């Protein structure tokens, strides 16, 4: 009943011109969202009254970010990129004006290589404990771990270290992942819930398919214009994302902006234009093929 109520409401709130995606399928480790029935329904950054921060993130400009890497550096260990698919970078909570915080809770810092190493004059403690993949296993979520290994793939480091970085730097700044939001809280429950939430958002943005639908596919010889790349993504989402390129002009990143209806764990997102622009040239953009042996 709760899921149905929260899913139907945003359509009326957003108006006919808004692009909304997602359906609220809650993960087994979701917080107690029943308490949110007492809060006014709203999109993040659009609420007019004070709300329960377990129900609506205070940093409510949400970015689902993806990579187009061409190698991992750990191919010999079986760390391969997904074929014809962009890989996950993360899910970030920016402030409504586009600014952001990082590493908001040192007590839940699981990143072995914090970056940045200092936040507001304080050194971020280096984590030396078990990897976050062990947290997932402890909750019996082999399904989640298998998916992350395939689609949330790091470059230049083992993937579990990158997952730890994304949780520690970004998820600790999402108020809806605070431990107080979980009934009968079990240690690391919110970590697993965050990973589920990232994947739920990621599935709403199949970047490879968006681009391929407009004839934009990886090639080591063909180049593309920025207007063509943005046009393909805008056609699919109704909004302009950030597209990022390397210094040589190779397309390697997309950031999709949104407001969430209620907690991001619900996965109901209103697509928005980027606040950051693009870091790609107007012409001559390369969309490089993957290195042989780097895909599964």
Contact criterion met (CB below 8 Å) for 244 and 278: yes
Which residue matches tokens 């909750």?
139
The conformation of residue 92, written as its DSSP 8-state character, comes to E
H or E element in which residue 134 lies: helix 132-138
Overall pTM > 0.75: yes
- Closest listed residue to residue 191, CA positions, set 266, 267, 136: 136
pLDDT tens for the 296 residues of the chain, in order: 344 334 334 333 444 446 777 655 667 777 877 888 888 889 999 998 888 999 999 999 999 999 999 999 999 999 999 999 999 999 999 999 999 999 999 999 999 999 999 999 999 999 999 999 999 999 999 999 999 999 999 999 999 999 999 999 999 999 999 999 998 999 999 999 999 999 999 999 999 999 999 999 999 999 999 999 999 999 999 999 999 999 999 999 999 999 999 999 999 999 999 999 999 999 999 999 999 999 99
What lies within 8 Å, CB to CB, of 13 at 6+ separation is 41, 42, 43, 261
Q: How many residues does the chain have?
A: 296
For residue 283, the model assigns a pLDDT of: 98
Do 92 and 44 touch, CB atoms closer than 8 A?
A: no
Q: What is the reported pLDDT for 254? A: 98
Cα angle: 288, vertex 294, 231; to 5 degrees:
30
Superfamily, domain 41-286? Ribonuclease T2-like (3.90.730.10)
Predicted pLDDT at 51: 87
List residues with catalytic annotation: 89, 166, 170
The residues that bridge with 81 in the sheet, in sequence order, are 295
Residue 205 contacts residue 271 (beta carbons within 8 Å): no
Which pair of structure tokens corresponds to residue 41?
């329904």
What's the confidence (pLDDT) of residue 89? 98
Give the pLDDT of residue 25.
Answer: 63
Q: DSSP characters for 184-237?
A: T--TTHHHHHHHHHHHHHHTT--HHHHHHTTT---EEEEEE-HHHHHHHHHHHH
Give me the DSSP letters along 101-126. Answer: -----GGG---SS-SSSEETTEEPPP
As a whole number of angstroms, the longest Cα–Cα distance in the chain is 57
* Contact (Cβ atoms closer than 8 angstroms) between residue 45 and residue 257: no
For position 23, what pLDDT does the model report? 57
d(C-alpha 291, C-alpha 124), whole Å: 35
Q: Which residue has the tokens 């697509």?
A: 271
């Amino acid at each position: 009943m709760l899921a149905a109520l929260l899913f139907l409401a945003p359509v009326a709130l957003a108006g006919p011109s808004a692009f909304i995606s997602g359906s609220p399928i809650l993960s087994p480790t979701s917080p107690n969202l029943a308490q949110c029935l007492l809060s006014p329904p709203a999109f993040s950054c659009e609420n007019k009254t004070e709300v329960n921060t377990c129900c609506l993130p205070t940093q409510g400009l949400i970015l689902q970010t993806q990579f187009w890497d061409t190698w991992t550096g750990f191919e010999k260990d079986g760390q391969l990129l997904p074929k014809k698919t962009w890989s996950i970078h993360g899910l970030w909570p920016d402030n409504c004006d586009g600014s952001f915080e990082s590493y908001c809770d040192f007590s839940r810092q699981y990143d072995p290589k914090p970056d940045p190493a200092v936040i507001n004059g304080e050194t971020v403690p280096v984590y030396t404990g078990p990897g976050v993949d062990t947290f997932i296993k402890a909750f019996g979520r082999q399904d989640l771990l298998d998916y992350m290994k395939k689609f949330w793939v790091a470059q230049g480091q083992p993937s579990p270290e990158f997952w730890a970085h994304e949780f520690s730097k970004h998820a600790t700044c999402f108020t809806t992942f605070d431990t107080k939001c979980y009934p009968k809280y079990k240690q690391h429950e919110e970590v697993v819930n965050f990973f589920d939430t990232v994947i739920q958002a990621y599935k709403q943005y199949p970047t490879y398919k968006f681009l391929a639908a407009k004839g934009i596919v990886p090639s080591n010889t063909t180049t593309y214009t920025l207007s063509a790349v943005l046009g393909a993504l805008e056609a699919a989402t109704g909004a302009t994302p950030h597209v990022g390129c390397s210094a040589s002009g190779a397309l390697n990143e997309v950031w999709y902006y949104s407001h969430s209806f209620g907690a991001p764990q619900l996965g109901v997102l209103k697509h928005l234009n980027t606040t950051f622009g693009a870091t790609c040239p107007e012409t001559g953009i390369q969309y490089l093929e993957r290195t042989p042996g780097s895909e599964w």
